[in-house]
């Protein structure tokens, strides 16, 4: 009703003055070129329609394979985590099996098994050649038994390793998913595209798998999660998107799913931040944002190549990096060195922050360190690993 | 680790340049007086510590009874709904009984019984004298049986009626809660203080019930939900707070509860919007905000008195307002007039937006209509109700 009521909008719980939302001076002063309605008014539950449309346009520009295919209008979420959390609430039932990558961002398991009591199992990201382990995923699917429904989380560029699929690997993966769906399993594939499209090698699949999955099989529902968070450097603005695709019998199913999604937004956060949406609308409407983020992409690609060069000349030792070719990070296997000890040492002795993912995995965000400082970062890392290694008893091997 | 790592912060998934978060020009230009870290960086899971502290100070200024009492540091939520949703997730188990007011904001039931499958029952807000129905609540508590745990939602100023407790009513209510806790029931009392402190009558309790409940009884946990949303006209910024209080054996319990809350934030939204927090820190640090919001309060109080005057001279008819003395709204019982028909008529014929809460309840937000336009709003409302009433068959009575 809020949209039509132009005479007196006595609908929502918003205080108005002269028909416009009341806004404190100090709030308005901090965002001088936006109207009160763009700053403090409520956004619609599913998000600002202008932003949803802009995001859909951007999706098709970045994923030309999507053009002409049927999929939902992206729904605005309060960040990508919120999108994942709602996907778990809506599409994963209690005790459903869900496969997530190993290693994985820890929140997948916290949300799926902590919040939802789903049965989480892992598939290995890498095979022995340090490429994508499609056979490992096939085996993991096999081990989930014969229950009809199966959840699968795919995350490329992958957090924490920074690995993305080569085109050939993507083809193999899509084939596996088609076979699995064809065998009668109902697949819910959650695509966490947070770090899209930060790819740094020519051989990689440059489109989201979503473009391949939306019309793959009647038994497959693809849930695409992405956002301004990593792609447009809007981490703290908390704006993500949730887009659904599947070869479903008819378009009206999207309306029913949209209703479910809106209910999930309403009962979790009511709506995402209006001001953040307004900022992103301005960003995406500004034609310069494309060259600006092309430059950002190039800056990260340069850091990536620098890291590759540093690693190529690194001394032999306990640290071995896992394959990476995209995103913000790389991850080291720390061998006999305890990753948490290494992390703490780097922090305490050198004020260097890293993340210990397990006793033998350490994640390093090279996207947060300037080009010219990368040598010092990695030299310190290798030196401390060597020092700890020299003091570690052999039994840790 | 993010706080300590000053040399190289290769911790979180944030891209930096010169040690500062990368920010797009068009985002920075829209918020010219804030640093990138205040706009796009991640906030800590529990929220900006400066904001949490400012909110606690403000709580004690507005609720002097709280001073010196033990309660938690307010945790930042992504709006008050998010606080309610997390409270339901954390403190209400499946099949727990929870009492909510009748009438109530519809999201209470959607969240409690829809998301959590709690057993929701209602207590009547009003008695026959149009005052708070403490006996009705006592009866409703009695009807929940003898199970140990009981959830209770209290919401003053009340949505949708705009009713708040007189001091005498508050005393009676607190006594009932003490008796209930004393009888061995474990009470989780969720206080939705969204519309605090917009009270317009001298006889009303001007502090949150939270101040009375934090040290009431060992068997009572008080969960205070409030926020910048309604109080500081920051609806779309999506910043709420969740504060816990209870006469628990020792302070360390708050640390354990804080850990649970942080996990709930992490698995639902990761964190709330950094930019919104930065704006609110500026607002609360600006000494002028107090006089600005005193003027806002006075503006709404003037509208309230105007509405009262209009209603005092209203023609007799089907519409009867429920007691109101605070907040943004009032609610009419629409008698034999169907509230949805009335709502639709007001919208279609007059571009006036209202909310039909049930077939016989219509909510009107007078806080969104200027003083001088209130007569037209209510005259139109009464005229349309009379017109519909004249065309309604007697059987609807």
Q: Which of residues 103-142 of A touch B (CB under 8 A)?
A: 107, 110-111, 114-115
Query: How many angstroms away from the CA of A291 is the closest CA of chain B?
Result: 11
Q: Is the same domain home to A180 and A251? A: yes
Query: How many angstroms away from the CA of B290 is the closest CA of chain A?
Result: 10
Average pLDDT over residues A132-136: 98
Q: Is the same domain home to A342 and A387? A: yes
Amino acid A190: pLDDT: 98
Q: Is the same domain home to B74 and B192? A: yes
Interchain contact A5–B (C-beta under 8 A): yes
B270: left (phi over 0), alpha (psi -120 to 50) or beta: left
d(CA B162, CA A189): 46
- Interface with A, mutate which of B35, B194, B236, B356 (most A CBs under 10 A): B236
- Interface with A, mutate which of B8, B94, B261, B327 (most A CBs under 10 A): B8
Query: Is residue A10 domain-resident?
Result: no
d(CA B215, CA B235): 31
Q: Judge: B299–A17 Cβ closer than 8 Å, yes or no.
A: yes
Query: How many angstroms away from the CA of B354 is the closest CA of chain A?
Result: 4
Amino acid A4: pLDDT: 66
- Interface with A, mutate which of B235, B295, B350, B357 (most A CBs under 10 A): B235
Amino acid A239: pLDDT: 98
Query: Is residue A149 domain-resident?
Result: yes
Q: Judge: A236–B43 Cβ closer than 8 Å, yes or no.
A: yes
* Domain final residue, candidates A261, A285, A309: A285
Query: How many angstroms away from the CA of A107 is the closest CA of chain B?
Result: 7
Amino acid B3: pLDDT: 55
Give A138-165 pLDDT, tens digit per residue: 999 999 988 889 999 999 999 999 999 9
Give A310-321 pLDDT, tens digit per residue: 999 998 999 999
Q: Which residues of A touch B347 (CB under 8 A)?
A: 1, 4-5
Amino acid A396: pLDDT: 46
* Domain final residue, candidates A285, A319, A340: A285
Interchain contact A24–B (C-beta under 8 A): yes
Q: Is the same domain home to B120 and B192? A: yes
Average pLDDT over residues A117-132: 96
Query: Is residue B397 domain-resident?
Result: no
Query: Is residue A151 domain-resident?
Result: yes
**∠A79-A82-A87 over CA atoms, to 5°?**
130
Mean pLDDT of chain A: 94
Amino acid B397: pLDDT: 42
Higher pLDDT, A357 or B397: A357
**∠B13-B15-B18 over CA atoms, to 5°?**
135
Q: B376: nearest CA in chain A?
A: A8
Find the domain containing A330 and state its range. Answer: 289-396
Amino acid B47: pLDDT: 98
A269 near B269, Cβ under 8 Å?
A: yes
Q: Is the same domain home to B130 and B238? A: yes
Amino acid B251: pLDDT: 56
Does the pLDDT value for residue B1 go beyond 90?
no
The backbone torsions φ and ψ at residue A102, rounded to the nearest 5 degrees and listed phi first, read -120, 120
Q: How far are the Cα atoms of A76, A323, B225, B252, B273 from residue B26, in angstroms, in the given order? A: 20, 35, 35, 45, 18
CATH label of the domain that carries residue B332: 3.90.1150.10
Q: What ipTM does this complex have?
A: 0.95
Q: Which residues of B touch A1 (CB under 8 A)?
A: 343, 347, 353-355
Q: Which residues contact B171 (CB under 8 A, 6 or more apart)?
A: none
Q: Which of residues 173-212 of B touch A (CB under 8 A)?
A: 194-195
Query: Is residue B94 domain-resident?
Result: yes
Average pLDDT over residues A69-93: 96
Query: Is residue A28 domain-resident?
Result: no
Q: Is the same domain home to B310 and B257? A: no
d(CA B387, CA B315): 13
Q: Which residues of A touch B39 (CB under 8 A)?
A: 236-237
Does the pLDDT value for residue A252 go beyond 70?
no
DSSP B132: B
Higher pLDDT, A7 or B236: B236
Identity of the residue in A275, A343, A353 whose CB atom sits nearest the CB atom of B8: A353
Q: Judge: B159–A13 Cβ closer than 8 Å, yes or no.
A: yes
The percent of residues in chain B predicted with pLDDT above 70, rounded, is 96
Interchain contact A23–B (C-beta under 8 A): yes
Query: Is residue B42 domain-resident?
Result: no
Does the pLDDT value for residue A26 go beyond 90?
no
Amino acid A394: pLDDT: 60
Q: Is the same domain home to B332 and B360? A: yes
CATH label of the domain that carries residue A218: 3.40.640.10
Q: Is the same domain home to A252 and A306? A: no
Average pLDDT over residues A19-44: 94
Q: Is the same domain home to A293 and A153? A: no
Interchain contact A333–B (C-beta under 8 A): no
* Domain final residue, candidates B267, B285, B303: B285
Mean pLDDT of chain B: 94
Q: Is the same domain home to A259 and A347? A: no
Average pLDDT over residues B110-136: 95
Q: Is the same domain home to B217 and B298? A: no
Amino acid B253: pLDDT: 80
Q: Which residues of A touch B43 (CB under 8 A)?
A: 236
The percent of residues in chain B predicted with pLDDT above 90, rounded, is 88
Q: Is the same domain home to A341 and A317? A: yes
Number of independent structural domains in chain B? 3
Amino acid B396: pLDDT: 47
Query: Is residue B35 domain-resident?
Result: no
């Amino acid at each position: 009703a809020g949209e039509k009521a132009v005479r007196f909008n006595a609908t929502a719980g918003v205080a108005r003055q002269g028909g416009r939302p009341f806004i404190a001076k100090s709030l308005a002063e901090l965002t001088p070129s936006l109207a009160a309605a763009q700053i403090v008014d409520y956004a619609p539950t599913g998000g600002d329609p202008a932003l949803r449309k802009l995001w859909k346009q951007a999706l098709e520009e970045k994923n030309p394979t999507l053009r002409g295919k049927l999929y939902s209008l992206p729904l605005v979420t309060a960040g990508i985590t919120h999108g994942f959390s709602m996907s778990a609430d809506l599409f994963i039932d209690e005790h459903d099996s869900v496969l997530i990558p190993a290693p994985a961002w820890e929140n997948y398991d916290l949300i799926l098994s902590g919040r939802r009591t789903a049965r989480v199992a892992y598939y290995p990201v890498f095979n022995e050649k340090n490429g994508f382990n499609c056979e490992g995923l096939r085996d993991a699917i096999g081990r989930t038994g014969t229950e009809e429904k199966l959840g699968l989380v795919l995350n490329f560029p992958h957090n924490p390793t920074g690995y993305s699929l080569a085109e050939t690997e993507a083809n193999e993966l899509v084939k596996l998913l088609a076979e699995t769906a064809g065998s009668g399993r109902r697949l819910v594939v959650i695509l966490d595209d947070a770090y899209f499209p930060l790819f740094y090698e020519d051989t990689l699949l440059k489109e989201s798998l979503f473009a391949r999955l939306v019309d793959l099989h009647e038994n497959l529902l693809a849930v695409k999660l992405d956002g301004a968070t990593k792609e447009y450097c809007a981490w703290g603005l908390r704006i993500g998107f949730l887009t659904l695709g599947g070869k479903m019998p008819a378009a009206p199913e999207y309306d029913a799913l949209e209703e479910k999604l809106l209910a999930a937004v309403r009962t979790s956060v009511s709506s995402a931040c209006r001001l953040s949406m307004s900022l992103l609308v301005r960003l995406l409407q500004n034609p310069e944002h494309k060259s600006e983020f092309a430059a950002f992409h190039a800056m990260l690609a340069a850091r990536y190549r620098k890291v590759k060069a540093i690693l190529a000349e690194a001394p032999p030792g306990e640290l071995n990096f896992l394959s990476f070719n995209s995103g913000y990070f790389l991850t080291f296997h720390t061998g006999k060195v305890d990753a948490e000890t290494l992390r703490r040492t780097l922090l305490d002795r050198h004020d260097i922050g890293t993340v210990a993912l397990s006793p033998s995995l350490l994640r390093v965000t090279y996207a947060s360190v300037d080009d010219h400082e990368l040598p010092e970062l990695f030299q310190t890392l290798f030196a401390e690993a060597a020092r700890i290694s020299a003091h570690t008893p052999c039994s840790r091997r």
